Amino acid sequence: MPHHTAAKLLKPLIARLLLPLAVAASLGLFFTGRARGLDLELLVSGSAVCILLVAMLLERWLPFAGHWNQSQHDSGTDLFSAAVLLALLDPLLKYLSPLVVVALYQWLDLSGLYSKVLGQAPFALQLLLVTLMLEFCRYWVHRWHHSQQWLWLLHAMHHSSQRLYALNNFRFHPLNYLLLFMLSTLPLMLLGVPAELLLGYLALTLPVVMLQHANIDLRSGVLNYLFSTNELHRWHHSANAAEANCNYGHALIIWDQLFGTFKYQPGGSNLPTTVGLFSSSSQNYPVTASYLAQLRLMYGLRCC
Ligand SMILES: [Zn+2]
Ligand SMILES: [Zn+2]
């Protein structure tokens, strides 16, 4: 079979199947590792890294928008931001959050609550419920970042990119990232949700998150009604605030559907006119601003 014919057949298949395959592989690895007593954290993060690398390769081969593959002098900032989140903030949260939880028990010990209410339920059901709870919290925290001015100051950095590609999924103000953790994962830790379930949540959702910004022409079909795909997330990054105040879901999109913020054009390109910071935002992020300059911008605001 000629090379170009194989590619022609393969591209629509990958466009349809990449997301479900990534989720299935990550979950499959998690459940296999759990049954065999393997290091689940290593498995979950390992599969997320693999999916991210595959996404970065596919961006070259099956791009959604060719010009989004061209650097806008923003790759350094995005790489630095990814390093801060993954190499600094994540390890800090991992080691400090159990200490914070234990310290908080002095005032409010809810640690037995989770095991009393759900501890005996089948693991898969617990995973589903924990996922729904975490996604509920993350949905509202994200939505508040768009409706409260002081929170928008933190979140604008994520919206400052004028293109979408796999790496700028990690462009987050560290305080934005921290707040999201404190208002979603930390409360569940306080309730005594086991670490294994939190890792299961990551096994299910990280593949979706790794592909959410990817500049790949994915066509996830009906899965757009379940997951916060890159097709839906493009609307969220519209420079038009009216278009962007939708699809807040972190990895699932079901809370958007329930609370009336779901936006999707089945069969359409799902491409807003412009991607970037809202023109109505009081912030001004030069595209080429360094990481530290972007962090500082939040403190040097003038009113609209
Ligand atoms: Zn947002
Ligand atoms: Zn985003």
Q: 101-119: per-residue pLDDT in tens?
A: 888 888 877 778 888 888 8
Residue 160 Cα to ligand 2 middle (Å): 10
Residues contacting 115, CB < 8 A, separation 6+: 192
Give the model confidence (pLDDT) of 184-220 as tens digits: 999 999 999 999 999 999 999 999 999 999 999 999 9
Q: Share the mean pLDDT of the chain.
A: 90
Give the pLDDT band of residue 2 (cuts 50, 70, 90): low
CA of 174 to the centre of ligand 2 (A): 15
As to burial, measured by CB atoms within 10 angstroms (0-12 exposed, 13-18 middle, 19+ buried), residue 269 is: exposed
Please give the pLDDT value at position 131. Answer: 98
H or E element that contains 101 = helix 90-104
Band (pLDDT 50/70/90 cuts) for residue 138 is very high
Task: State the pLDDT at residue 152.
Answer: 87
Average pLDDT over residues 139-147: 95
- 303 has a pLDDT exceeding 50: no
Six token digits for residue 3: 């090379």
Mean pLDDT for the stretch of residues 87-91: 95
Residues 25-34 have a mean pLDDT of: 98
Name the DSSP letter for residue 63: B
pLDDT of residue 150: 86
* Ligand (nearest to CA of 230): 2
Report yes or no: 210 and 82 within 8 Å, Cβ to Cβ.
no
Mean pLDDT of 14-29: 97
Q: How far is 165 from 68, CA to CA, in rounded Å?
A: 7
Measure the CA–CA gap between 156 and 139, rounded to whole angstroms: 17
From ligand 2's centre to the CA of 78, what distance in Å? Answer: 12
If we measure between CA atoms, which residue out of 56, 77, 265, 296 comes closest to residue 165? 56
Tokens of 241: 């605030």
CA of 133 to the centre of ligand 1 (A): 19
Query: Which residues are within 8 A (CB) of 195 and not within 5 positions of it... i.e. 6 or more apart?
Result: none
Alpha helices by DSSP H, 213-253: 230-236, 241-244
pLDDT at 113: 85
Q: Which residue has the tokens 């759900």?
A: 118
C-alpha of residue 155 to centroid of ligand 1, in Å = 7
How far apart CA 268 and CA 232 sit, in angstroms, is 11
Going from the Cα of 127 to the center of ligand 2, the distance in angstroms, rounded, reads 25
β-pair partners for 8: none
